[in-house]
Amino acid sequence: MSALVDTSVLVRYLTGDPPHLASQAIGIMDSSEPLLVTEVALVETAYALRTFYAVPQASIVDSLIGLLQKENVSIFGRDKNLIVQALLLCRPSHRVSFGDALIWAAARSGGIQVVYSLDDKFPRVGIEVKDTL
């Protein structure tokens, strides 16, 4: 049986801050228990790392991908490899947001061919992005 992990555990695990909570997060994440992470938790974690810890975007991507590569960690309702591909879209620059990358992954995993977006930075790999009907 799997358990969901929330943002507080992910942030403490990745930052080591504060130490007493980080040790609890390490105990959870480094266990052999199957753990599920939601896309919301990934976006919130990226936001916390960028906003409160001033972690550069490329480092955030690398940290999240490292987290997802743990054998006991899966993405709730999504293909882990597709989520990793989505995160990699964010790495080269600040052009693609974490939220847009995960919406892109949702479209790709659901077989959706068209996404409506007014954001000219929305990823277009493998989908059509439209701004009008």
Residue 42 is assigned to a structural domain of this protein = yes
Q: pLDDT value at position 131?
A: 93
Can you give the pLDDT of all 133 residues of the chain as single tens digits? 899 999 999 999 999 999 999 999 999 999 999 999 999 999 999 999 999 999 999 999 999 999 999 999 999 999 999 999 999 999 876 689 999 999 999 999 999 999 999 999 999 999 999 999 8
Can you give the pTM of this predicted structure?
Answer: 0.91
Residue 74 is assigned to a structural domain of this protein = yes
Q: What is the pLDDT of residues 37-63, one digit of tens each?
A: 999 999 999 999 999 999 999 999 999
Residue 22 is assigned to a structural domain of this protein = yes
Total domain count, the chain: 1
Burial 67-98 (b: 16+ CB within 10 A, else e): bbeeeebbbeebeeebbbbbbebbeeeeebbb
Residue 67 is assigned to a structural domain of this protein = yes
Residue 127 is assigned to a structural domain of this protein = no
Domain with 7 in it: what CATH number? Answer: 3.40.50
Give the residue numbers spanning the domain of 98. Answer: 3-108
Closest among 21, 67, 71, 72 to 46, alpha carbons compared: 67
Going by DSSP bridges, is the β-strand pair 35-37/128-130 parallel, antiparallel, or unpaired?
unpaired
Residue 114 is assigned to a structural domain of this protein = no
Residue 45 is assigned to a structural domain of this protein = yes
Q: pLDDT value at position 93?
A: 66
Residue 16 is assigned to a structural domain of this protein = yes
